[in-house]
Amino acid sequence: MVFGMAGMYGMNDLLNLVARESAEELRLEPGRPPIIVLHGKARVVDSSLLTSDNVNELFRGIATEEQSRELRRCGAIHFNFAAQNSARFWVNAVVQGEALGLTIKNLGR
């Protein structure tokens, strides 16, 4: 199932989709399309593959400068994030090799 989102999207768009669909989580990894987990099943959000730059930009959309520094220093960071629509998320960011991967769990389901 593809949830259409024309062109590039911002983190707020993706988090709003997760909240609106009551999805369990959002997965963002370079070389793959954005994925949401809905009712235990992974579903493609958009057929466009993310680049490392895309994932880094999406992370910067929710992370503070301090959180970004911690990620660079330690290679991983976990934190809670409250979106503009008041939905709450748990963010797990991990650098593997040169690539950043994000798993964002919906805390408000």
Q: What is the pLDDT of residues 9-44, one digit of tens each?
A: 789 889 999 999 999 999 999 999 999 999 999 999
Q: Are 21 and 36 in contact (CB under 8 A)?
A: yes
Mean pLDDT, rounded, of the chain: 89
Fold category of 11-106 in CATH: Beta-Lactamase (3.30.450)
pLDDT tier at 1, thresholds 50, 70, 90 = very low
pLDDT tier at 69, thresholds 50, 70, 90 = very high
- Amino acid 48: pLDDT: 86
- Could you tell me the residue ranges of all domains in the chain? 11-106
One-letter amino acid of 48: S
Residue recorded with tokens 């959002």: 26
Residue recorded with tokens 């593959």: 49
